Structure 1
Amino acid sequence: MKQNWEFPTTEANAASFNTFQARLTETVDYGAEHVRQNLVARTNALVTAMRESASLRSECFVIAHEAITSCADRIALGLNDMELAKISHDAQAGKYTVEELLDLGEGFFKLEVLNKIASAEITRQQHQGEPMDEVEIRLAYQVALRDRLNLPGVAQSMRYRRSAHVSAAAIDKAEQEVREKLEGSASVQFLAQWAPWCQAMERKYPESYARVRLVHQESREAISIQPVRMSEGEWMASLDAQKAEEAASIQKLNKQMTRQFLEEQIEAREHL
């Protein structure tokens, strides 16, 4: 593709990524001229981010190492996974607004639901003794619902769609299930444990988080030195219990603030 996408092979699995980027020419997205420019732009953005972040680079190298063991559709799925890793790194670095994070978080949630649906379909085909390919099944759901569900970081097409043995009716059913779960409490639960979103909530509602953290800080300080009445084992157990209690309190607050933010968004739209 005449692009400078290679990395020095001094890092673990860098050679695998170099093989991976060369094999992007095998994907359907590259073969379709009207899509190729988008594929090149996606890969350029990914490689630029990889050059700037050692942790992202390492993660993508591992993905590449696994992706090159199979067909062109596994390469396409690998690029999807790398782009999702890039989005997560950007989110952790605070590169998105809260509103953008909400869209991305919901996108990640939809992909998680789709992956569970695909896993169930893989299990069903295995139990029925049908010839199946896990990569094709997972990619089939993502590609088919890419635009309908506005999924982040997904290829536009795949080469071996028929090998997935996933019907149009199954795709429609999956879309309905994703939309239903998005409207339910599961999406709030997902956001409340997604690190970039939780960090954004604490930045938006600092006083609420400060109050909760102050309570637990006082509890920590009360047993920061081993009390005479406690054995070392009891003291360590008490410290562990305090940490677990604080984590549970923050998780509860994450859900509360997420619901509050969503309600504020609805009210703002109603007043437009």
Structure 2
Amino acid sequence: MEEELGKVIECLYGSIPNHVFYYCADHCIVFEKLSDTMTDENRENVVDKNYALFHANKLKIIKIFNLDTFEHKNQIGDYECNTIIERSDISLPYYVKIETVINLSSRSKINGFHKDYYESGSLKSCCTYRNGKKFGKYCEFYDEIHTRGGEEQEYLRLKCTYDEEEKLHKSYTKYYINQKISFRCQYRHGVKNQVREFDENQILTASYKYVNEVLHGTCYKYDNGVIAKIIYDNGTLLIQSEIFFTNV
């Protein structure tokens, strides 16, 4: 990132302040906010301005350059240098930090730890990559934060693990926003094995077994103490037992 940022700074040498940035087809679009530009930078749901996606009604295109070769272009798509784009509403997207655009451009070339962000600027996901593929622990978060012990923390939404072929491996878990488990599945190198679902009180509501990616064997569904027993054979429903009440 530091090396790429250095090259970008050289590419932007001589530029003036008040610039913002956008990513389009491996290119960085450099905008200038004008004196009468209106934006949504003061909207309430911004968590981190450095990573948030903002919008404007009017921007001037200053530069366009390739983020791999740093070659300048006069035009790409609807973007043309030294022209002003104007909308009737505040809908032209941009980022305030060039680092965010570099981050977007490098996804296919990622090696090492990487983070993605929501439009609000809050953390969306984090994972280690090898040659552009997810590897190891992957975490995804809700687009909300909470305070614990005086520090802001994210709400975990999903946690799983990828093998060297970017296939799901071991435990795959989803969480309610209260951080209790809603769904848990076991994988072995991309092959689903067992699934369990829970309500917000952590009561088991369903249990399924898979063989070769199809339902197989005895499965259960639970609802307020009522249990349904279902038997599958290679994806084909064989028996659904009488529903009976338990002491739950």
Bin for the TM-score computed over the shorter chain: under 0.3
Of structures 1 and 2, the one with the larger relative CO (CA 8 A, separation 6+) is 1
Higher strand share: 2
Higher CA-based Rg: 2
TM norm structure 2: 0.25
Higher helix share: 1
